[in-house]
Structure 1
């Protein structure tokens, strides 16, 4: 089952409103540019709009998702829907010409045709100029949807012929909802939603065994801080798991989230907790607010020091000692 417009209203309210209004009023543009960072749902929205155009049993603006056209669009084999992607690093002139040739043919089923160009900013100059001619003289019933993360790299002459819609980074509750829809547990969804606003990155983290172990290790480190075993834990477990700079920063980000959760427990604001599966453990920690605030400050300082290329093991051992001292 594909995403519905109602779900888009939650994750991209402005874009969803503009597109559904256009569908309702039958004023769909002949060319769109969907711009926004990776993982904000541009391709999903392009396919949803395409389904709304072709659906045989549309209910208002909502495609049925079940008819022959909806199913073929979702599986990527509708004869009148073409998706162009970069071949290697760029989209070449020949790819756009092939597209034009396809669209010049009379449609077997209907004259309605849609083409979606992913990473439109990667068109070569000749490909972009070929596309420009195509946009200047659109065939009746033809709709173009260009997707990009870098609209500043697209020719102004192309931009001026498209209706531009900007996709905002996903807000946290929308990200959690999308991840839960994909079968990811709420504790994991809440955790990664604090680390990234990119849905693809978030999914990759949730499905990464390394990240699952990282999350567990951070919880165990907090437990170890209560006794003398914490430095041993750092040397034997932590530094063997968090090996490169990016991984260490993720580890420190997770540690920050735990101390924020401890503060929420102190303030009786448990609805804001990220590690919801650890709430009962956090309630057993008898840290003062002053100690928690000091810990947050020390973790942030360690993050900054690691960016300045200091000795990783030494920085982390110093941090652990400070967290122990409180």
Structure 2
């Protein structure tokens, strides 16, 4: 989830100074690459930056390196109706070969009204092998008058054969204060404390922070944490309690990955407390949910081996979901693994 598309020029994006510097350098040199890979965490503005760069490159104003906002091209970008800006998104979780073939056919024609057509391929790490092979041919012999911008999540692998034919531009999470400031601009009713909390939990990703704000993910994460860390819950006697929480997790569907990210952050916080999890427990109790205070003592009994095993369980669940394993079963197994050792 990226920030709302209220900006026009790529230079208006908050943060990402390194990305701006690298792109500006190529623009000033007059030797634009035929393809970029924007790689970084989800929700930090990669897609918004791509749209702003496309608007800047096609602007008919008199100031180079910026989008004027008033010419006919800029107005079309502002209305998301520019004929020479194409966006290709994953369908049902993956970019398919038919999408790439259609794109390649389009690239064979001259841009409709601009000197340069910009094509944004979102989340190319989801691309299947046959689609990647088809794209590779275009990257090797790119038609003139086209710029391809590929985005990828930082933790996901992009085929070397593709990334080696593009200029890779790194994106990063924003500092918490900067992310919180942006959140308060986007959601004026949000107070400073809540904005800082969301910025931290989203690890500097404004898009993720907005998702946490707009959904019940924090509440559900709190319920999961409360249940799996409660020494009073017995995995044999209270199977129904654990299954109920697993069902709530399963029903999140496409929002499961960001919630798993919250659980990973919670476990990492516990690992960073040298003498147990009491302080980390208190940090998470206030924003998420108030539970039995005795649970703090239970968390202190979890060894680093316990915590690493639970982190591994989160990673395994994430991989299984990407392979389209049974979502309900994956969530049930995860909850029982997270609870393991608390009874």
TM over 0.5: yes
SS at match of 2:138: helix
Partners of 2:221 and 2:110 lie apart in 1 by 56
Alignment of 1:219-238 (within 5 A): none
SS at match of 1:154: coil
Contact 1:121 1:150 in 2 (8 A): no
Q: Tell whether 2:111 aligns with 1:107.
A: yes
Partners of 1:191 and 1:151 lie apart in 2 by 23
Deviation per residue, 1:130-164 (Å, 9 max, x gap): 11111111122210101111576332221111000
Correspondence for 1:134 among 132, 138, 149 = 138
Partners of 2:110 and 2:199 lie apart in 1 by 47
Q: What's 2:314 paired with?
A: none
Partners of 1:211 and 1:88 lie apart in 2 by 26
Contact 1:188 1:206 in 2 (8 A): no
Q: 1:299 to 1:57 in 2, by over 3 A?
A: farther
Correspondence for 2:149 among 126, 145, 148 = 145
Q: What's 1:201 paired with?
A: 208
Q: Tell whether 2:85 aligns with 1:84.
A: no
Correspondence for 2:7 among 2, 16, 25 = 2
Q: Tell whether 2:31 aligns with 1:27.
A: yes
Compare CA radii of gyration and give the structure with the larger one: 1
Structure 1 range deviating more: 56-65 or 130-139: 56-65
Partners of 1:89 and 1:30 lie apart in 2 by 26
The CA deviation at 1:202 is: 0.8
SS at match of 1:153: coil
Correspondence for 2:40 among 9, 29, 36 = 36
Q: Tell whether 2:124 aligns with 1:120.
A: yes
SS at match of 1:107: coil
Structure 1 range deviating more: 69-78 or 138-147: 69-78
The CA deviation at 1:125 is: 1.6
SS at match of 2:110: coil
Partners of 1:194 and 1:160 lie apart in 2 by 33
* Structure 2 stretches lacking a partner, 5+ long: 1-5, 223-244, 250-258, 268-278, 288-293, 311-337
Aligned residues: 251
Q: What's 1:187 paired with?
A: 193
Q: TM-score, normalised by structure 2?
A: 0.61
Q: TM-score, normalised by structure 1?
A: 0.64
Q: Tell whether 2:178 aligns with 1:174.
A: yes
CA RMSD after TM alignment: 3.7
Contact 2:37 2:163 in 1 (8 A): yes
